[in-house]
Amino acid sequence: MEDNLMNNNFEGEVYHPAQAIIDEAHIKDYEYLYKMSIDNPEKFWSERAEEFYWSKKWDKVLDDSNPPFYQWFTNAKTNIVYNCIDRHLKTWRRNKLALIWEGEGGDVKTYSYFSLNREVIKFANVLKSMGVQKGDIVTIYMPRIPELIFAMLACAKIGAAHSVVYGGFSVDALAGRIEDAESKVLITADGGWLRGSIVPLKGIVDEAIARQGTIEHVVVVKRTGQEVHMAPGRDYYYHDLCELPVMNQNCETEMVDSEDMLFILYTSGTTGKPKGIVHTHGGYMVYTATTLKYVFDLKDEDRYWCAADPGWITGHSYIVYGPLLNGATSFMYEGAPNFPYPNRWWKMIEKYGISILYTAPTAIRGLMRFGNAWANRHDLSSLRLLGSVGEPINPEAWKWYFNVIGRGKCPIMDTWWQTETGGFMITPIPITPLKPGSATKPFFGIDVDVVDNDGKPVPAGEEGNLVIKKPWPAMLRTIYKDPERYVSQYWSTFKNMYQAGDSARKDKDGYIWVIGRLDDVIKVSGYRLGTAEIESALVSHNAVAEAAVIGLPHEVRGNTIHAYVLLRAGIDGNDALAEDLKKHVGHEIGPIAKPEKITFVDVLPKTRSGKIMRRLLKARALGLPEGDKSTLEE
C-alpha cells in the first residue's frame, strides 16, 4: 500500500489539495497575496497588526535605519499576553477551552480561557512576590505540564522575559543557560513522567545551581510527588505559595514596548557556547499568529495539537503564543508517543477529535516502525491537516504520514524555519500543490533565495546557501549580550542577507528543497546540537584529552552522534569506559546528546591551524572520497 496513494489527487510526485480544502481555506490566492506582501511588506504587516490590541499604535511598521538591528512596530505599546488571554475574556471565547492536557498516566486537565487567566494571574503574583520585575529573565525548567505554559505567560504578563530550558537537558546545559541569563528565579518541578519513570528535574536543578551563583529562589511545581531536597529560604513549593490569599488577587497585564524582550531561547551554534536568541513582543506576536492562522488554516472549531515540547521554539510559537493569539483550543500530552503502546497518539487523536497534528519527521519515522495496524485500529477521521518540522522529511515517511495517518485526505504542511526566525518561513498553505520532501514556497513577506558563495542566485536545481533578503517581524533581534556575534553569524557572509546556515535547492517551479545544515550543527531527532558542546562535555571527563564529534545518518533519528576520543596518556579505551563517557555526556547535556558510538583513536585529523577536520572523519566513516586534504596537518 505504501506507494499506492489512496486518492487520485496525485500527479507524478505532486499532490493537489481537494477542492473542499481550497473552499475552506483562509487564503485562496497565494501568488497575488505573496506579490503584494513582498512589494509592500509594511502594508501587509500593518494590516495583520490591526487585528490585535495595542494601547498605543506604532510610529513606523519597520525601522530599518540601523541594519541588521531591525525594529518592528516602533514605539507601539502592547503585551502579547493581553492578546493571548485578556482580549478573549471580553468575548464568547471566555468559556472556550484554551487547553486540553493529558498526562502520561492518563490524567486529564482542561482550561478555558477564563481559567487559564486565573492560573496565569496566580503565577504572576508568585513571581512578583519573589521580586521579579520588568526586564528580569526567569529561567523555566519543566516537564510538559500546563504549569510550564502558565509560567511562561506569567513572566510575559508582568513584563519579565522567560528563558525556557528544555526539560530533556541536563546539568551543564542548564547551569550555562541560567548563568548567561543571570536569572535570580528558577521555576521547575519535582519531576516529570516519561515512559513510566520519573525524570528527576529537581535533582538536576540542585546540581546546576551548585555550579553557578545567580539563583536566589526556586519555585517547585509538584508533579511526580516523590520526596525532593528543598533548600530552606531558597526553594518553595508552588502549591504552598498559592495558598496565600494575596496570590489570588488580580494582576493587571503590563503594557510594554513592542520591542521589549519577550523571551530568550538558547540554541546551538558552531561554538561551545549556546546562543541566547532574543525575541520581542510586537513583531513576534503578529508573525506567529498570522503564520499559524494561514498555514494551519486555524478555525474556532479546530482541536489543534502541536506535539513538540514548549521548551523549543516550536512550542513557544505554536503551542503557547500562536494558538492562544488565535483563540484556539490546543491539546498537549506529557509523555512518550509509544507509552504504554505505540497507539497512544492515535488513541488520543480519536478521543479528543484532533483536527490538526503538527509533529516532526523523527516522530513519524519512529511510529511508522511499529506498522500500520496500531494506527488503523483508530478513527482518525477528525484530522484535516498535518504538519512536519525540524528536518527534511523523507518521501517514505511523508507518504506513510499522508496515507496511514491522514487517510489520504490531509495535506501536509512541511514548515521550514528556525529558532532565529520565530515562525514559519518556507511552508505550504492548505491550497499549495505539495511535493513530498519540499517545504514548497516562502510565506507572505518572506524573500527567500538560494545563492552561491558570492551571494549570487544559483540556477534552478543547483545546491546553494539558503538566505533571506528582507527583514520579517519575528526575526531574532540579537544574540543576548553578544550583538557582534549576531552580526557576524547571520549578516556578514552575504551583504544585506540573513544567512540561515542551511543548504538548499530551488527547483524549476520555485519550490525550495532544504538539504541540511552547512555548519557544525547536528540534527538528532530534530533537536539541534552543536558538535563543540558535545566535545566539551566529553573533554570535561577526566579520562579524555581531546574529542571530535560528527553526525551520521540514522533511519529513525535522522542523525546520531559519533564521537572520536583521544584518551589521556596512560589510559586505555574499553567498552566500560565508552559506556561511562556516553553516560557522562547524558548527565552534562542531556540524553539526546549521548553519542551512539565512541571510537578511541590515537590521533585526530586536524588542519595546520589546529582545527579538527570533522568533514574528513565523516567521509571516512561513510566510506566516501576524502576530498581536499591540502590543509591536513601531517
Question: Which residues of the shown chain bind ligand WT7 in the complex (CB under 6 A)?
Answer: 267, 313-314, 389-392, 414-419, 439, 500-502, 514, 516-517, 523, 528
* Residue placing its CB nearer to ligand WT7 in the complex, 446 or 565: 446
Select from 573, 567, 562, 579 the least CA-distant residue to 542. 567
Closer Cβ to ligand WT7, 238 or 318, answer by number: 318
C-alpha cell of residue 244:
496565600
Nearest residue (CB) to ligand WT7, 170 versus 314: 314
Give whichever of 52 and 263 is closer to ligand WT7, judged by the CB atom.
263
Contact 281, 79 (CB under 8 A): yes
> What is the DSSP pairing of strand 197-199 with strand 77-78?
unpaired
All three cell numbers of 103: 498526562
Total length of the chain: 634
Q: Which is nearer to ligand WT7, 311 or 327 (CB)?
A: 311
DSSP structure class, residue 593:
G
> Least distance (Å) from ligand WT7 to the CB of residue 513?
9
Q: What Å distances lie between residue 173 and 132, 246, 310, 485, 526, CA to CA?
A: 23, 35, 17, 20, 18
| Contact predicate 429/25, CB 8 Å | yes
* Shortest spacing between CB 504 and ligand WT7, in angstroms: 9
Between 330 and 419, whose beta carbon lies closer to ligand WT7? 419
Q: Which is closer to ligand WT7, CB of 93 or CB of 614?
A: 614
* Least distance (Å) between residue 474 CB and ligand WT7: 11
**Minimum distance of ligand WT7 from residue 437's CB (angstroms):** 9
Cross-strand pairs, 63: 71
What is the nearest approach in angstroms of ligand WT7 to the Cβ of residue 380?
Answer: 22
Q: Retrieve residue 394's grid coordinates.
A: 523523507
For residue 215, what are the contacts with CB-CB under 8 A and spacing of at least 6? Answer: 139, 178, 183, 184, 185, 186, 209, 234
Task: Kindly write down the DSSP assignment for every residue of 42-80, as one continuous string.
Answer: HHHHHHHHTTS--SB--SEEEE-SSTTS-EEEET-EE-H
- Find the helix packing angle between 575-588 and 171-181, rounded to 10°: 30
Residue 620, all three cell numbers: 571516512
**Considering the complex, what minimum distance in angstroms separates the CB of residue 94 from ligand WT7?**
31
Cell for 87?
482580549
List beta partners, residue 163. Answer: 139, 264
Beta carbon nearer to ligand WT7, 419 or 536: 419
Closest distance between ligand WT7 and the C-beta of residue 511, in Å? Answer: 12
Question: If we measure between CA atoms, which residue out of 381, 354, 352, 356 comes closest to residue 294?
Answer: 356
Going by C-alpha positions, the residue among 361, 294, 288 that lies closest to residue 319 is 288
Closest distance of CB 123 from ligand WT7, Å: 26
> Min. distance of Cβ 585 from ligand WT7 in angstroms?
19
* DSSP-assigned letter for residue 277: E
CB nearer to ligand WT7: pick between 251 and 389 = 389
